[in-house]
Every structure is written in C-alpha cells, then in structure tokens.
Structure 1
Amino acid sequence: MSAKRVHEHDEDPNIIFTKRLRGGKHPIDFNVSSDINRNLCRKETWECKMETSKKPSVQLLSANIDLVDTINIIDTFDRAKDTTKEGKYARRGKYKSGGKDEPGKRLPKSGVYAEAGVGRARAELSVLEAEAKGPNVTAGAEANATGVAAMARAEVASASAKAGPVGVKVGLGVDTGASVGLNGVEVKVLGTGISFGPKTSVSLLGSEVSCSVM
C-alpha cells in the first residue's frame, strides 16, 4: 500500500484500488497496487527464457546436487575409510556388479574404462569423498540402474569433494561423449554438443544457447 501525490493524467495498470483523499490543484490519491498483473502479463513467465552466453562452456568451478548420486548413497553409506596416492598411472579394465549386500556392489552396473595421468590423491569414507588430479585423460562406458553413458575426458587439473548428492569441483576439463538417464540426455564433443533435461542447451565452440522453462 502507498499514499502518493498524482496528477489526473497519471495511470498505472497495476493499481487495484484508489481513493481521492484531497482534490483541488494538488490532489492526493491513496493507491493500492500489486505486481501480480504485471508478472502474469510478462511473456517470459509462460514461455521458455532464451539465454545466450559467449563464455567458455568449460566450467572452472561447479557445485551441484545430483539425483543419481542421491540414489548411489545405497551403495556407499557403509563404505570403509580408504586413501590412495599415485604418481604416474595408466590402467584399463572392465567391471560388473550388483545384487550383493556389500559397499559398491548393491546397485547393478557394468562397464569398461581406461585412464592415464600424472598425480592423483583420493580419500573416501561412507558417503564422503575427495579427490585431486594432475593432467589426465579418461574414457569409459557404463550401464547402471540410473542410465547409460559413454564419456571421455581430458583434464589439465581438478579437485573435487562430495558428500552424498552434494558435490563441488574446481578444475579445467573437456568432456566428449553421450549419456542418457535420470539427469536427462547429453551429447558433447570437445565443448560442442546439446543436452536435454531440466535445462536444454546447445554448445558450439565455447558459446552456449540455453532454454529454461520459467
């Protein structure tokens, strides 16, 4: 609510009630206004909001709450404490697990992987984990209870920490691959690609156009 001095030609479509308190040469009106009508009439309230960004699509810092990692708590809530440190490393392999009442083996999953890098340290305990990496490349494919994915990544360096579904990561890396699951559908090649889900976006050589339903 507001009391203000207005001229007879002043108009405000958001005024839902008005009363003239004093007439004459300098009238005073008592007005009650609301932003509801203004918000309902805005085009972006009902349609997709288009955003264009010229910033690099590679994120240096990210924090997120992940639906998939929320489900993965079933596999990690009783995980024992473990720490590892490595200098140079290179490995590849395949795995398949599920249906066992053991940490990391409750949810069905299978896949293949290959990785190589210089410098890596990792610590984990229950749903908590932290990791730091130097220059590295990884590639892998996995099918599990929440979806399927095939991804390759090249990183200059990174550091990450996770507590259940809440994760924070700082670093510089580029993903190439595709995934389909609870988090949506994503296809990307060296920073160029498209993703569908809560936020649909198109990335092209470091520029991104996204559409989010308001």
Structure 2
Amino acid sequence: MSERLRLRHHGHGENDEDDVPTTKHGHGENDEEDDFPSTKQQQNSGINEIEEATIEKSKAQETSVINTIMDIYNTYDRPANAEAKGSYAKQEAYKKAFKDKPGERNPKAGYLAEAGYGRVRVEASIFEAEARGPNASACAEASSTKVGAMARAELAGVSAKAGPLAAKVGVGLDTGASLGWDGVELKFLGTGFSFGPKMGVSVLGSEASASCSVM
C-alpha cells in the first residue's frame, strides 16, 4: 500500500482540514463592539446631547416670550400718570385677579409696607420711571408668574422700565429672593443676581436686567 493510500486509510486525507479545531475563542474582530461604543454610537450620543440642549434653550425662550407678553398685556393701556411725594408711609394687603383693568388682569396677592422721604414717579403704558430719596420697604407677593419676598433699605435710587428691559441705579441693601417664570433672583445687602429667562446683576443697589436675554 502506498504512503498516500495509508494516510487515507487512517482518516488523514487531503480534505481533512475541516476536522482540525480552529483557534477562534470568541475574540473576533467584531467583538470590540460589545465592550466599547463604536464611532457611530459616540456620534449619535453627541447628537442627542446637542438636541437636548437645543430643546432646553427653546423652552427657556418660550417661557421668556410668554412672560413678556403677559407683562405687556397687563399694562399696555395703562393711562399716563405722574406723582410726587414728600414724606410718605403706606401699608397694604392686596388681592387682585382677572379684572379688565391695567395691572389687575393677572391674579396676585401680597403685602407691602413702605416709608420714605421724597419720591417722584411717572408711568404710561409699559413705561415707568421713578426717583427715590431715603426709604425702606418690605413686601411679599404670590402671583401667577412669581412668588417671593424682599426687604429694602435705600439711601437713594433711580429706576426705569420699558417692557422687558429694566435698570436701576442707587445705593441700597435689598435682601430677599423670588422664583418665577422670569427665573430665580437672590439678593443679599444689595448684591446678587437673577438667572433664567430674566438675566441680571445687582451690586450694592444698582442693577441691570433684561427679560428677553437667554443663555
């Protein structure tokens, strides 16, 4: 019997390579996908994060627009008025809701106590301006758009507002906090910030803010 026939007789033919065990132990080229995110998965994750950030920014912008519209709706037909006072003192608990009058369309309730010397105030439609001498006040209010409380002690101040834009220059020690559609506001001894759809910074009683500014 030839050597070739002898090999075939014992099961070692030319095509017997199929019987040889392979060296593959489950660590093929594609097994890395099970342990590490693929480039495509990483890209999709980044896209999702961008979409979520865009959605959050869009929501904040919508909130800011709604709040601005409500403020304008509440005061758009406010008649022109000017007043000047020497010494003054006032204490008031109030509750206003759903009256078709300027400043009373949005529901709100609160308490205000104030006293001071020298105040001039002008208001018309969505515009208002005020100049104050030494004064002190305390207030707390809950409305459909905000809840908060603030105590103020001011040597002098001038403020102006036109719709969503507001500014104040003075020397004061406002202390308090508020939370509402226009964001969060915190102040301590005249210095603090507002963050959200309304952005602003206060330093020793002077401040600037804008309700349409969104990060």
Normalising by the smaller structure, the TM-score range is: 0.5 to 0.7
Query: Post-superposition shift, 1:82?
Result: 0.9
**1:29 matched residue in structure 2:** none
Q: Which amino acid aligns with 1:141?
A: A
**1:150 matched residue in structure 2:** 149
Q: Which amino acid aligns with 2:182?
A: N
Encode CA deviations 1:117-176: one digit per residue, 9 max, x unaligned. Answer: 110000111111111000111110001111201001111111112111122221121211
1:55-66 paired onto structure 2 within 5 Å: none
Q: 1:87 and 2:93 equivalent?
A: no
1:131-210 paired onto structure 2 within 5 Å: 131-191=130-190, 197=196
Contact 1:95–1:111 at 8 Å: present in 2 too?
A: yes
Encode CA deviations 1:83-105: one digit per residue, 9 max, x unaligned. Answer: 11100111111111111111111
Query: Post-superposition shift, 1:177?
Result: 1.3
**TM-score under structure 1 normalisation?**
0.57
Q: Which amino acid aligns with 1:111?
A: G
Query: Post-superposition shift, 1:187?
Result: 3.8
Higher mean C-alpha deviation, range 87-96 or range 66-75: 66-75
Higher mean C-alpha deviation, range 119-128 or range 172-181: 172-181
Distance of 1:128 and 1:80 partners within structure 2:
10
Distance of 2:192 and 2:198 partners within structure 1:
14
CA RMSD of aligned residues (A): 3.3
Q: Which amino acid aligns with 1:177?
A: G
Instruction: Return closer, same or farther for 1:83/1:69 CA change in 2, 3 Å cut-off.
Output: farther
Query: Post-superposition shift, 1:188?
Result: 3.5
Q: Higher helix share goes to which structure?
A: 2
Q: 1:107 and 2:110 equivalent?
A: no
Would you say how many aligned residue pairs link Structure 1 and Structure 2?
143
Encode CA deviations 1:167-201: one digit per residue, 9 max, x unaligned. Answer: 22211212111211123233443257786647999
Instruction: Return closer, same or farther for 1:69/1:135 CA change in 2, 3 Å cut-off.
Output: farther
Larger RCO (CA within 8 A; separation ≥ 6): 1
Distance of 1:200 and 1:125 partners within structure 2:
24
Distance of 1:129 and 1:66 partners within structure 2:
20
Query: Post-superposition shift, 1:114?
Result: 0.3
Q: Higher strand share goes to which structure?
A: 1
4+ runs of 1 displaced by more than 3 Å? 65-70, 186-189, 191-201
Identity of aligned residues (%): 56
Contact 1:128–1:162 at 8 Å: present in 2 too?
A: yes
Uncovered stretches (5+) of structure 2, i.e. residues with no partner: 1-63, 205-214
Q: Which amino acid aligns with 1:90?
A: A
Distance of 1:70 and 1:111 partners within structure 2:
22
**TM-score under structure 2 normalisation?**
0.57
Query: Post-superposition shift, 1:76?
Result: 0.6
**2:117 matched residue in structure 1:** 118
